[in-house]
Amino acid sequence: MLETFNDLQGILIGAAIIYAARELRRVSNSIIRLDYRVGDLERMFQSARLREPQRWGSIDDRNEEGGGPSESGG
C-alpha cells in the first residue's frame, strides 16, 4: 500500500513539473511576442519621427535636471 502511494506521489510530482514547464514555455513565448510588438511600435514611431514620451528617472535625476512635476518653489 505504501509503495503504491509513493508511486502515485511520484507520478503527481512528475505531472506537476511537466505542467509547470509547459506554462513557463507559454509565458516565455508570450513575452517574446510582446517584445517583438514593442520593437515594431518603436520602429513605427521612429520612422514617423514622432516625439518620444519623456521618461522620468529617479527622484535625484529629476532634481539635478531642474525639477519636474514634484519641484517645490522653496
Q: What is the pTM of this model?
A: 0.50
Confidence of residue 3 (pLDDT cuts 50, 70, 90): confident
- Say if 42 falls within a structural domain: yes
- Say if 32 falls within a structural domain: yes
- Domain hosting 31: range is 20-48
- Say if 57 falls within a structural domain: no
- Say if 37 falls within a structural domain: yes
What's the rounded mean pLDDT across residues 44-65? 67
Q: Return the exposure string of 7-40: e unless at least 16 CB atoms fall within 10 Å of the residue's CB, then b.
A: eeeeeeeeeeeeeeeeeeeeeeeeeeeeeeeeee
Number of domains in the chain: 1
Residue 52 has pLDDT above 70, yes or no: no
- Say if 72 falls within a structural domain: no
- Say if 44 falls within a structural domain: yes
- Say if 38 falls within a structural domain: yes
Instruction: Determine the pLDDT at residue 69.
Output: 57
